[in-house]
């Protein structure tokens, strides 16, 4: 058995292998039918880090989506899951009535729930930092993978877009979480559970060694393509790439 979680990566609904990584991580932590939270969730399926757990493993969850049209699609998914999914139509904010703490308090979510997935392409880090009343066992949070280890940056447009890898690792340490995998998303585990993950000692000592340089290369390439190709052409290339990957997995 490999100790490196990236070796378990595969996608059913996720984008960068998170479905397989989270299955393996939950197995190591002894989590069977847990609770998860994801936002912005869209329809609860598209590029989701939690839908595989909800559908295939019987989890319960809370999905939050701020776009009212997309929320209609999320309600369809909610109906399909037979009462195991709680949904909220809201844009999560760092503070106030729309803070994550306030929104989650309206649901039956346990305080020590199992998985939080944050992917809103903006103040992801600031929202995680603002979470006080809940302590998830696992946190999956998107960062700016173009930026290599050693750069500290939080989302503050127009100058800085997204949080850097090192800023997320630093925030994790502040909140007593430890990085256990990097897919483009940073995957953290609560410090009190780290021993169960059975990660290589060198990766615990030096989390920068988990940085996914192949993901950084892809992100840089996409950034350059966006400068020279119209968005519809770029989206068509993404669709072709996705179909090719699915064909390879089936073969």
Q: What would the pLDDT profile of 13-26 be if each residue is shown by its tens digit?
A: 998 999 999 999 99
Alpha-carbon gap, residue 205 to 208, rounded angstroms: 9
**pLDDT class of 249 with cuts at 50, 70, 90:** very low
Mean pLDDT (the chain) is 88
- The neighbour count for residue 208, using CB atoms within 10 Å, is 14
Q: What angle (nearest 5°) sits at the alpha carbon of residue 145, between those of residues 251 and 17?
A: 25
Could you tell me the pTM of the whole model? 0.86
DSSP string, 103-137: HHTTS---TT-SEEEE--SSSHHHHHHH--S---S
- pLDDT over 80 at 120, yes or no: yes
Instruction: Please give the DSSP secondary-structure letter assigned to residue 92.
Output: -
Residue 62 is inside which H or E element, if any?
A: strand 60-65
Alpha-carbon gap, residue 136 to 192, rounded angstroms: 12
Residues 102-114 have pLDDT tens digits of 999 999 999 999 9
Provide the pLDDT for residue 67: 92
Report the topology of domain 5-211. Answer: Rossmann fold (3.40.50)
Alpha-carbon gap, residue 155 to 207, rounded angstroms: 22
Token pair in block for residue 46 = 């598209």
- pLDDT over 80 at 225, yes or no: no
Spell out the domain ranges in the chain.
5-211
**Rounded mean pLDDT, 60-75:** 95
Higher-confidence position of 126 and 241: 126
**Rounded mean pLDDT, 216-240:** 59
CB 141 within 8 A of CB 183: no
**pLDDT class of 220 with cuts at 50, 70, 90:** very low
Provide the pLDDT for residue 160: 64
- pLDDT over 70 at 222, yes or no: no
**pLDDT class of 156 with cuts at 50, 70, 90:** confident
- pLDDT over 90 at 247, yes or no: no
Alpha-carbon gap, residue 193 to 137, rounded angstroms: 8
**Rounded mean pLDDT, 73-102:** 96
The pLDDT > 90 percentage for the chain reads 71
Q: For strand 185-190 and strand 60-65, is the pairing parallel, antiparallel, or unpaired?
A: unpaired
């Amino acid at each position: 058995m490999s100790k490196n979680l990236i070796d378990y990566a595969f996608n059913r609904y996720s984008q960068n292998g998170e479905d397989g990584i989270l299955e393996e991580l939950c197995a190591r932590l002894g989590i069977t039918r847990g609770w998860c939270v994801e936002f912005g969730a869209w329809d609860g399926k598209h590029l989701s880090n939690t839908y595989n757990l909800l559908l295939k493993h019987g989890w319960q969850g809370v999905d939050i989506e701020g776009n009212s049209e997309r929320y209609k699609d999320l309600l369809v998914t909610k109906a399909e899951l037979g009462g195991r999914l709680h949904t909220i139509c809201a844009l999560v904010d760092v503070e106030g009535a729309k803070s994550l703490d306030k929104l989650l308090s309206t649901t039956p979510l346990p305080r020590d729930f199992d998985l939080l997935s944050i992917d809103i392409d903006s103040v992801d880090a600031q929202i995680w930092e603002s979470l006080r009343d809940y302590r998830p066992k696992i946190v999956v949070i998107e960062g700016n993978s173009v930026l290599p280890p050693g750069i500290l940056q939080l989302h503050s447009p127009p100058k800085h877009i997204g949080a850097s890898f090192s800023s997320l690792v630093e925030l994790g340490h502040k909140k007593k979480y430890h990085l256990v995998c990097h897919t483009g998303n940073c995957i953290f585990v609560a410090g009190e559970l780290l021993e169960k993950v059975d990660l290589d000692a060198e990766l615990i000592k030096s989390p920068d060694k988990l940085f996914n340089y192949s993901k950084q290369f892809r992100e840089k390439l996409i950034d350059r393509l966006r400068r020279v190709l119209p968005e519809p052409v770029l989206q068509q290339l993404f669709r072709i790439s996705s179909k090719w990957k699915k064909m390879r997995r089936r073969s």
